[in-house]
Amino acid sequence: MTLRVILASQSPRRRELLALVGIDHEVLPADINEDVRAGEQAVPYTERLAREKAAAIAARHPEAYVIAADTTVVVDGDILGKPVDQADARAMVKRLSGRSHTVCTGIAVAHGGRIESAVEQVDVTFRALSDAEIAAYVETGEPMDKAGAYGIQGWGATIVERVDGDYFSVMGLGLRRLVELFERHGVRYGFAAGLIVGDGRRG
């Protein structure tokens, strides 16, 4: 019998990252309300959302280990989610141009009625961009499904000057932290072996 791992996310980046380190999984995106509560800061917000996404799927699949995450960009205390349209995307990229912002990624692993969670904060600095460059970048479509309207793993890589923290958390799922959360559930990670519970079952 295999260890069942469910990724409660529609994000193709999160699927790629799990595949990168050999964590076999199914995908069952969670449909929850992602509204920010009045006065809620990015760190508690992203952790709450990751936990709610994990809990929603774990309630239906109690035998599984459910992974969920939530990523936002924070600048001047404002939380930037995904842009609603191209004008919004241009405004977001312009706001991030030539300065630093923080990427917050909440991550959660639910199993057996318990949820282990954490938040990674990473400072990212953009080089200065001209309006023409911003328009051309948004034209590619890359920003549209991403928090803060950029993807560090795509053409956005040519915009990022420095990253202070975990690169994979910027992409949407911190793998070092994920392994730590599994360990809190008593599940070990082995290179090449993947996830291993006490009796040697694999996921």
Which residues are the active-site residues?
70
Work out the angle between the directed axes of helices 131-139 and 86-96 (0-180°, nearest 10): 130
The answer to the question of residue 152 lying near ligand TTP (CB under 6 A) is yes
Minimum distance from residue 13 beta carbon to ligand TTP (Å) = 4
> Alpha helix locations (H) across the chain?
12-20, 42-58, 86-96, 131-139, 167-171, 175-184
> 124 has which bridge partners?
101, 163
DSSP for 92-133 reads HHHHHTTSEEEEEEEEEEEETTEEEEEEEEEEEEEPP--HHH
Stretch that binds ligand TTP, among 55-63, 114-122, 141-149, 183-191 (CB under 6 A): 141-149
Binding segment for ligand TTP (CB under 6 A), chosen from 63-71, 84-92, 125-133, 185-193, is: 63-71
* Per-position x/- string for 74-103, each x denoting binding to ligand TTP as judged by CB under 6 A, each - no binding: --------x--------------------x
Position 165 contacts ligand TTP (CB under 6 A): no
| Residue 28 CA neighbour count, 13 Å, CB half | 18
Residue 171 contacts ligand TTP per CB under 6 A: yes
Is 138 a residue that touches ligand TTP (CB under 6 A)? no
* Side chain identity at residue 202, one-letter code: R
Contact call for residue 203 and ligand TTP (CB under 6 A):
no
- Contacts (Cβ under 8 Å, ≥6 apart) of 177: 107, 118, 120, 166, 169
Minimum CB distance to ligand TTP, residue 201 (Å): 26
Residues 14-33 that bind ligand TTP (CB under 6 A): 29
Residues found near ligand TTP in the complex (CB under 6 A): 9-11, 13, 29, 53, 69-71, 73, 82, 103, 146-148, 150-153, 156, 170-172
